[in-house]
Amino acid sequence: MRAARVIHRTGPSGVRVHEVPVPRRGGGEVLVAVRAAGVTFPDLLLSHGRYQETPALPFGLGGEFAGSVVEAPPGSPFAVGDPVVCSSPFRGFAEFAAVPVRHVLPLPRTWTSRTRRACPPTTSR
């Protein structure tokens, strides 16, 4: 899959798209096919190395994103195909993301994909 990753802490110029393996869903995580991701101020700070967290290079960006469930753990409130919005750092600028269930919120199926993409994940479980 493709994922945007920071390879140099020089701001947006230090971000590159790489081919990386699709993440494996761990226990308590939902695998999401990402359809849209917002660019936030923390993403910009992270790309410059000016955020309170400084992950080891290379690292992903994208803390706010929307998509659909590909895999869900047994007993979770999610099923394959459910539209969701997520708030989880370092994951959203990729084609797939493994996200803790508590950072995934369901979205109404009646919403258009355009509306779903515009919904910011301002809360988590």
Predicted local confidence at residue 38, as pLDDT: 87
**Is the entire prediction scored with pTM above 0.85?**
yes
Which domains, from first to last, does the chain contain?
A: 2-117 (3.90.180.10)
The CB density around residue 4, as the number of other CB atoms within 10 Å, is 19
Who's near 89: CB < 8 A, 6+ residues apart?
42, 53, 62, 63
Predicted local confidence at residue 122, as pLDDT: 56
CA 58, CA 64: separation in Å to the nearest integer? 19
Q: What percent of the chain has pLDDT over 70?
A: 91
Q: How many residues belong to the chain? A: 125
Predicted local confidence at residue 124, as pLDDT: 45
Closest CA to 104 of 34, 23, 10: 34
The answer on pLDDT for 115 being more than 90 is no
The answer on pLDDT for 63 being more than 50 is yes
Q: 70: exposed, middle or buried (C-beta count within 10 Å: 0-12, 13-18, 19+)?
A: middle
Under the banding of pLDDT at 50, 70 and 90, the label for residue 112 is: confident
